Amino acid sequence: MSAQPIPHDAAPKAGRTVIETRGLTRRFGGLVSVNNVDLVIAENETLGLIGPNGAGKTTLVNMISGTLAPSEGEVLFEGQVINDVPAFRRAHLGIARTFQVMKPFHGMTVLENVTVGALFGRNGGQKNMADAREKAREWLEFTGLGGKIEINADSLGGPDRKRLEFAKALAMEPRLLLLDEVMAGLNPVEVTEVVELIKKIRGQGRALLIIEHVVAAIRSLSDRIMVLHHGEKIADDDPATVLEDPRVIEAYLGKRRQ
């Protein structure tokens, strides 16, 4: 990697379990995209999810956020099975995500985009427009978009769009935040900025799931790393152990190591 090494923070103390999957499986016709995956993330814990393209990472996130129904297995949020809970209600429970293909609301300004998150997030969000706008402003400041709130979301550049995705998800005040490749397509300097942003989020009591290709970044951010390969979990341990695992290197890192 060309980016300067990012020091690994001491892991925050993990609390009670926020999200859990048991034997989660998704088939598309004959293809098993996610196969029998068990996953646990506690509050204040960050799980890094890596794996080659097509390993089933986004499918797994889709099943947790509720946009895709599992073929088998269970998703549990704070101990309750939520398989039949629709996506919008999972948002009310406290699950938020960003999208790999960024999805800003085109006809809206940056502020309005984030206001939607504040209006509809956890517990149904703020009922009052003024309160929601105020909260949206705070999260835009937090993510470094404070100076661009009145701009149309379409006119934002790549890195700012990533920040917008963050702000939208954070305005929902989630208990579980799913970050799907928020560093893809960013240059090393921008990656460092996003890493700093995630570090700030980590200290706020949430459970975090980060899908990422930038190994240096994910090593420094994760308390644990889970590796998917052809839909199966092949490793789930602390970053150092996982990244030295020969199976992981063979499946994924072998091709990428320089």
Partner 1 sequence: MKRFILPAAIVIAVFMAFIPGFASDTMIQFWINALLLATLAQAWNILGGFGGYVSFGNSVFYGLGTYGTGIAMATYHLPFGVGLAIGVVLAVIGAAVVGLPILRLRGPYFAIATLGLNGAMLAIFSNLSIANKNIGLVLPLTRNDTMFYELSLGLLVLCTATVWWVSRSRYGMGLIAIREDEDAAGTMGVNATLYKVTALILASVFTAVAGGIHAYWFTFVDPASAFDSTLNVRMVIMCVFGGPGTVFGPVVGSFVLSAVYEILAAQISTAAALLFGLVIVLAVIFMPRGLADVVGRGRALSWRYFVRNITENRL
Strand pairing report for 80-81 and 232-237: unpaired
Among 11, 14, 32, 116, binds partner 1 (CB under 8 A): 116
| Closest approach of partner 1 to the CB of residue 96, in Å | 8
From residue 151 to residue 190, the character string flagging contacts with partner 1 as x (rule: CB under 8 A) and all else as - is: -----------------x---x------------------
Residues 6+ away with beta carbon under 8 Å from 150: 109, 110, 111
How far is it, in rounded angstroms, from Cα 127 to Cα 146?
A: 23
Closer residue to partner 1, CB minimum distance, 86 or 254: 86
Closer residue to partner 1, CB minimum distance, 28 or 88: 88
Among 48, 125, 231, 239, binds partner 1 (CB under 8 A): 125
Q: Are 64 and 113 in contact (CB under 8 A)?
A: no
Among 46, 73, 99, 175, binds partner 1 (CB under 8 A): 99
Stretch of residues binding partner 1 (CB under 8 A), selected from 70-78, 97-105, 204-212, 248-256: 97-105
115 counts as binding partner 1 under rule CB under 8 A: yes
| Closest approach of partner 1 to the CB of residue 108, in Å | 7
Closer residue to partner 1, CB minimum distance, 7 or 150: 150
Instruction: Count CA within 13 A, CB hemisphere, residue 231.
Output: 15
